[in-house]
Structure 1
Amino acid sequence: MRRFHKMHGLGNDFVVLDARAQPLAMTAERARLLADRHRGIGCDQLILLEPVEGATARMRIFNPDGGEVEACGNATRCVATLLGDGATIETRGGRLEARLTGDGATISMGAPRFDWDAIPLAYPLDTAALPVAWEGLAPVRPPMAVNMGNPHIVFFVPDCDAVDLGAVGPAIETDPLFPARINVNIATITARDAIRLRVWERGAGATLACGTGACATAVAAIRAGLCDPVLSVTLPGGTLRLAWHAGGPVQMTGPARYVFGGEIDLEALAP
């Protein structure tokens, strides 16, 4: 039997397994079964904590399709509340610093990257204004690509709620332009300090919230001169506060909720 924690950040929900003291082998199949809402515990992402030299913990992130990804902002806030104030969390996307707040955490998410091969793209393009288009989207400016530890493309549209995310999301995620696939952010700017956002996450689909997506969207808006350096991003699950100054790390502040804990027999999981 293994102890697990069920948590969420703005409705983006996670199963957290702490393997720092007792090692746990994680496979794609096991991650898929744990994330299955009918045959497992159910979550948007499975989080595995492991020991690592020089940090409080290593955080590994698995999508419901079993694929391991580099970063997850909402999960980082949840993990920070488990690890305690001042935690340093190692991810495949970089090392993140956490500070607890009243109902969650502020995470220093690292500096965004913009080079085409850091996104990555399949070939060189101007990531600040990608000369690409997809049916079903009529953005107010060319989309921007941002790496926030994981790859994102950001579209600014007149009304993000009017976009058929279930149609355009998977088409863009799997486009050959993105060899590692990509997270798709559809955003509407409502004020100099406010954005509405919907996100299609690679390997997970539409989620109630995406922390790295909010970071990437804020960076894109600030970089394009559309928003101020401190702003709010509102997703279907709630609102995050973001701050970014060019050349520095993105600061993300938002809630984290502990839902319940329990034990599971991993060997009993079956398709």
Structure 2
Amino acid sequence: MNIEIIKCHGSNNDFVLIDELFQTYHFSESDRVSIATTLCDRDGLIGADGILFTMPSNHADARMRMFNPDGSEAEMCGNGLRCVGRYVCEKLDRNEIMVETNEADLSVVKKGEIYDDVPAYEVSIEPVRLDPQLFMKTEKKLHVELPIETLSEDLTFTAVSVPNPHLITMVPEIHDENLSSIGKQANEDKNLLPSGVNVSFIQPLGDQKIFVRTYERGVGLTNACGTAMSASSLTTVLLEINQLSKEIYVYNRGGYVICVVEKQGDEYVIKLRGNATYEYKTTLDIDLENKTCKEQSDRVWFEQEKEAYAKLQEHAKEEINLAAHE
């Protein structure tokens, strides 16, 4: 089976985008799982954090389904949504579209540049829910900065669904080993978290600035996770560390995004703004039965986009170092 792909990323959270909107592929559900496990394999030909199936919708401009490297399907993916949004906006020659996801129809809007020569796309992250019972076995109706003794004797956690499940904790300094250990433990504890969970550590960097590192369910440690950065921004607002309706700069291993947490009545809405960068495009011959693939064409690289994003990353590193020494 020959499949055209675009390798893309949001904050270096990288994906393989497959167009079912304008191409005539016919994938079964088992095909999607095989494609995800084959193409996301970091020891394989491509390697990625997920597959973005960009599909027709009965009522929106497009539909997005995102599959993790282990073949599981995510409820939502903020970084991936920006990439899908960019692709569909360019195909339809529009600056704003609506994308159907598994939980909601979400807007994607082109919003100038997040850094020099790096176009920005803003997506809505919703529905936002603070009910821990949506993904955690607990009698609590709210879990904000409270301990979970089976995960840590020292840390406190905030449970947020956006709509992916997230546990967020504030730390003075982020240590990958600790985060990875807690993330693995949380996803193995099916008595507490039957469907798993994303776990993030937040390190405050000053006024409206944070650094976020995430152990992503179905992936492991990632450069960035869009819904995790959104949930982390909301958590800092709930804890009165950052302000409602003001831009929050969220730095990560892959760069940075800008989040704005708004309240509409009793409901929270989060806007996530960041890059949607193309790396290359190519055509693959995929053997789904044997889970192998080979390239049928030379890769076409987006060198200017790569160079522009490298400058954004360098700027992000400088900002993180500056904040750390203040």
User: Is this a same-fold pair by TM over 0.5?
Assistant: yes
Pairing 1:62–2:67 present: yes
The one of 271, 274, 277 aligned to 1:251: 271
Pairing 1:83–2:91 present: no
Q: CA 1:260 to 1:162, structure 2 compared with 1: closer, same or farther past 3 Å? A: closer
Task: Indicate the residue corresponding to 2:157 in structure 1.
Answer: 143
Contact 1:13 1:43 in 2 (8 A): yes
**How does 1:1-271 map onto structure 2 within 5 Å?**
1-21=2-22, 22-25=24-27, 26-84=31-89, 85-101=95-111, 102=113, 103-118=119-134, 120-125=135-140, 126-133=142-149, 138-139=154-155, 142-161=156-175, 164-175=178-189, 176-229=191-244, 230=246, 231-246=248-263, 247-267=267-287, 270=291
Structure 1 alignment gaps of length 5 or more: none
Aligned counterparts of 1:191 and 1:54: Cα–Cα separation in 2: 42
Question: What one-letter code is carried by the residue in structure 2 that aligns with 1:13?
Answer: D
Equivalent position SS for 1:113 = coil
Aligned counterparts of 2:285 and 2:206: Cα–Cα separation in 1: 49
Contact 1:81 1:104 in 2 (8 A): no
Structure 2 alignment gaps of length 5 or more: 90-94, 114-118, 293-326
Question: What one-letter code is carried by the residue in structure 1 that aligns with 2:74?
Answer: V
Contact 1:78 1:104 in 2 (8 A): no
Q: CA 1:70 to 1:106, structure 2 compared with 1: closer, same or farther past 3 Å? A: same
Question: How far has the Cα of 1:50 moved from its partner?
Answer: 1.3
Q: TM-score by structure 2 length?
A: 0.77
Question: How far has the Cα of 1:255 moved from its partner?
Answer: 1.0
Equivalent position SS for 1:234 = strand
Out of 89-98 and 167-176, give the one that drifted further: 167-176
Out of 162-171 and 197-206, give the one that drifted further: 162-171
Question: How far has the Cα of 1:68 moved from its partner?
Answer: 0.8
Moved over 4 A (4+): 134-137
Please give the root-mean-square deviation of Cα atoms over the aligned residues, in Å.
1.8
Aligned counterparts of 2:291 and 2:59: Cα–Cα separation in 1: 37
Contact 1:145 1:151 in 2 (8 A): yes
Aligned counterparts of 2:127 and 2:36: Cα–Cα separation in 1: 29
Q: CA 1:170 to 1:76, structure 2 compared with 1: closer, same or farther past 3 Å? A: same
Q: TM-score by structure 1 length?
A: 0.92
Q: Which has the higher helix share?
A: 2
Equivalent position SS for 2:231 = helix
**Percent identity (aligned):** 28
Aligned counterparts of 1:248 and 1:129: Cα–Cα separation in 2: 18
